[in-house]
């Protein structure tokens, strides 16, 4: 079935609920202190479009630089905001003689049509090089974290283009609130620093999602189209087993997530996820099963050890107070203990101070599959935890804010039992590989509307091949999470 026919089919399938919704998805990633993630199901996504005017006593240039959207338009039935985005920095690495730089120019357009339709799109163009440990990631997987494949630029640089786009239709009917969302973006399920269910680490993907809310109940159905580009033969497949059209092999992911709020401060969630067999292995292009909205029906039909990669999970969010929360996740990918993953997070968010401690354990068979084409990945990158299977991780984070100054520090400690592997390992030696990241950033927020900021960052990496210190200063609009603490 052609791509546009698939998109039209999904829209028509979900059209009856498109006129019954009002629940917004979580806004784009913020590095601030007071954002509410207690009801987060999907983000980054849509947020309120703030077109309020800045202090009229200030000059036009001052307002546009430090207070307002670059272009804002509000008429009857239409709200539109346009902003230039950027990420410019230069720095040094202890393992490279040349300057480390990034030159990203972008534009974002977001808006609303009437009261029930919202849209957002961003276009990024980047030239960059990177520290040695990021180069190692690229050499293995053929992509940069959260990016597509790159073209060469200069002596040791890369040229990357990225596009993010999504729309949402929302409405309400009585107590029922419903949203249909579609587009090309990456999403996040959960309220931890990491997610075992779905995170915004990988490249964006084409998707359609239906989100329902009725009283204390929330329900999400997500269908997405993923790819196995197999750069660097990451899938470990013999050439003879791959047809000539397989460099961008497609597969389909379906997620069901049900959440119930036991009380104002406690919520429980259940997850079912499945990666269906790639199109050329199953000899099919589209299946109605991709759109099955009933949670746990795939587990009942296939079990956890099927050719389709099926997993189940649960989570709990507890708000002990407005500022203090805990979050737990559990995921089961295969029937044995090596298919288990758990995550526990404790977070404090105040008006001027924040702190987080989070630990996670992923067994050796989590996210992987006996057929690596069925791994829980997209564009050679894990869809959940960036470290992949077989890892124990501890994240400690703290931050302080004074007016528009923010100081962030983070330590990430990983013990990996093997490198990222999309095939279930037949033998594990028991040896562990240690990776540690120390990260500190000082930023000054120039414009809260786009999080335009001046920043200075130092990041030190300790790994099996030694250590590397990376220092950079720059100017950027931080609307998405930037993943630097990644390993092979």
- Average pLDDT on 140-168 reads 84
- List phi, psi (to 5°) of 187: -130, 170
Burial of 226 (0-12, 13-18, 19+ CB in 10 A): buried
CB atoms within 10 A of CB 123: 15
Predicted confidence band of residue 102 (pLDDT cuts 50, 70, 90): very high
- pLDDT at residue number 444: 95
Structure tokens at 137: 């990631």
Question: Is residue 203 a contact partner of residue 184, using CB atoms and an 8 Å limit?
Answer: no
Question: Is residue 273 a contact partner of residue 408, using CB atoms and an 8 Å limit?
Answer: no
- Name the DSSP letter for residue 254: E
**pLDDT winner (highest mean) among 131-145, 229-243, 344-358:** 344-358
Q: H-type helices in 213-328, by residue range? A: 279-282, 297-302
CB atoms within 10 A of CB 485: 22
- Average pLDDT on 361-366 reads 90
- pLDDT at residue number 17: 31
- In degrees, rounded to 5, the angle at the alpha carbon of residue 114 between the alpha carbons of residues 109 and 117 is 60
Rg (CA), the chain: 22
Measured between alpha carbons, how far is 340 from 402 in angstroms, rounded to an integer?
A: 41
Name 475's Cβ contacts closer than 8 Å, sequence gap at least 6. Answer: 86, 88, 89, 452, 453, 454, 455
pTM: 0.84
- pLDDT at residue number 29: 33
Q: Express each pLDDT in 435-456 by its tens digit.
A: 999 999 999 999 887 788 999 9
Higher pLDDT, 145 or 148: 145
CB atoms within 10 A of CB 332: 21
> 468: which strand partners?
461
Q: Express each pLDDT in 9-35 by its tens digit.
A: 434 333 333 322 222 233 233 333 333
Measured between alpha carbons, how far is 32 from 349 in angstroms, rounded to an integer?
A: 9
Across 154-158, 183-187, 287-291, 339-343, least confident range: 287-291
Q: Is 462 helix (H, G, I), strand (E, B) or coil?
A: strand
Across 96-100, 207-211, 243-247, least confident range: 243-247
Q: Express each pLDDT in 253-262 by its tens digit.
A: 999 999 999 9
Structure tokens at 359: 């630990």
- pLDDT at residue number 9: 41
Predicted confidence band of residue 132 (pLDDT cuts 50, 70, 90): very high
Question: How many residues would you count in the chain?
Answer: 488
Across 33-47, 287-301, 416-430, 459-473, least confident range: 33-47
Question: Is residue 229 a contact partner of residue 149, using CB atoms and an 8 Å limit?
Answer: yes
CB atoms within 10 A of CB 418: 18
């Amino acid at each position: 079935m052609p791509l546009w026919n698939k998109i039209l089919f999904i829209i028509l399938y979900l059209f009856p609920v498109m006129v019954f919704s009002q629940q917004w998805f979580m806004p784009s990633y913020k590095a601030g202190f007071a954002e509410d993630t207690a009801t987060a199901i999907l983000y980054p996504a849509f947020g309120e479009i703030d077109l309020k005017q800045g202090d009229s006593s200030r000059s036009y240039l001052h307002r546009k630089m430090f207070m307002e959207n670059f272009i804002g338009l509000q008429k009857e039935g239409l709200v539109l905001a346009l902003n230039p985005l950027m990420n410019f920095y230069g720095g040094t690495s202890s393992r490279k003689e040349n300057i480390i730089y990034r030159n990203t120019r972008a534009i974002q357009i977001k808006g609303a049509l009437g009261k029930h339709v919202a849209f957002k799109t961003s276009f990024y163009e980047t030239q960059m090089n990177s520290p040695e440990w990021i180069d190692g990631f690229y050499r293995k997987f053929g992509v940069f974290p959260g990016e597509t494949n790159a073209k060469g630029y200069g002596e040791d640089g890369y040229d990357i283009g990225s596009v993010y786009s999504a729309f949402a239709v929302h409405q309400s009917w009585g107590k029922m609130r419903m949203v249909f969302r579609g587009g090309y973006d990456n999403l996040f399920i959960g309220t931890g620093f990491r997610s075992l269910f779905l995170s915004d680490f990988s490249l964006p993907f084409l998707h359609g999602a239906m989100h329902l809310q009725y009283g204390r109940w929330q329900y999400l159905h997500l269908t997405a189209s993923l790819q196995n580009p197999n750069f660097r033969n990451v899938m470990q497949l013999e050439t003879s087993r791959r047809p000539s059209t397989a460099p961008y092999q497609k597969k389909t992911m379906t997620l069901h997530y049900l959440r119930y709020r036991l009380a104002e401060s406690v919520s429980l969630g259940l997850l079912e996820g499945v990666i269906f067999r790639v199109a050329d292995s199953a000899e099919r292009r589209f299946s109605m099963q991709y759109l099955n909205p009933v949670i746990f029906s795939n587990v009942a039909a296939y079990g956890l050890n099927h050719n389709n990669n099926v997993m189940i999970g649960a989570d709990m969010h507890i708000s002990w107070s407005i500022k203090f929360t805990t979050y737990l996740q559990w995921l089961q990918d295969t029937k044995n203990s090596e298919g288990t993953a758990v995550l526990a997070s404790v977070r404090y968010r105040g008006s001027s101070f924040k702190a987080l401690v989070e630990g996670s354990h992923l067994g050796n068979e989590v996210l992987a599959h006996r057929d690596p084409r069925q791994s829980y990945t997209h564009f050679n990158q894990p869809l959940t935890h960036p470290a992949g299977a077989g890892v124990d991780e501890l994240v400690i984070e703290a931050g302080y804010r004074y007016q528009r100054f923010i100081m962030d520090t983070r330590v990430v400690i990983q013990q990996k039992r093997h490198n990222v592997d999309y095939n279930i390992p037949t033998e594990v030696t028991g040896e562990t590989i240690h990776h540690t990241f120390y990260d500190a950033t000082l930023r000054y927020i120039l414009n809260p509307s786009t999080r335009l900021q001046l920043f200075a960052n130092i990041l030190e990496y300790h790994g099996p091949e030694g250590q590397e210190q990376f220092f950079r200063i720059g100017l950027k609009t931080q609307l998405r999470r930037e993943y630097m603490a990644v390993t092979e």
